Amino acid sequence: MKLDVKEYADKSILCWLATSNIKGEPNVSPKEIFLAVNPNIIIIANIASPCSEKNIRENPSVCVSYVDIFEQRGCKLKGEARVIEPADSEWDNYIVSLRKIAGDSFPIRNIFEVTVSKASNILAPSYQINPQIQINKQIASAMNAYGVKPA
């Protein structure tokens, strides 16, 4: 199955950022304001994630994942993150892009920039059991399971 990092990012409502501190103690938290700048750079608004920020400053290795809950597929991105502050040269360009998504409703303290070194698909087990699965049938099955009706 083809991996399209930007496609999955654009249609996902949340992404999950996994970090760990210098001792290797893990942390994972949802992020709702994020953007795939390109297949190799993901930016994530730090709205209220002091643990993620602290961990990135101690240990830049991270994993970002996002999944379309109805298609039950997505991607997992591993790489290195850094914290972009308002004084950094990338800030102005990144904040404009994130504000298009968030508006002024969210206070963005700083931005996590993830440089992707490895990308892989996330697939529900049903894709492995039935490689010929049709996406529209997967979506219908998930909507039925979640009690959701198409708009």
pLDDT digits (tens, 9 = 90+) for 6-50: 887 888 889 999 999 999 999 999 999 999 999 899 999 999 999
Map tokens 């099955």 to a residue: 141
Q: Are 80 and 19 in contact (CB under 8 A)?
A: no
Work out whether strand 110-123 and strand 34-38 pair parallel, antiparallel, or are unpaired: unpaired
At 72-123, the pLDDT tens digits run 888 999 999 999 999 999 999 999 999 999 888 889 999 999 999 999 989 8
Map tokens 């968030």 to a residue: 102
At 67-83, the pLDDT tens digits run 888 888 889 999 999 99
Please give the Cα distance from 44 to 31 (Å, whole number). 7
Q: What are the tokens at 73?
A: 């597929």
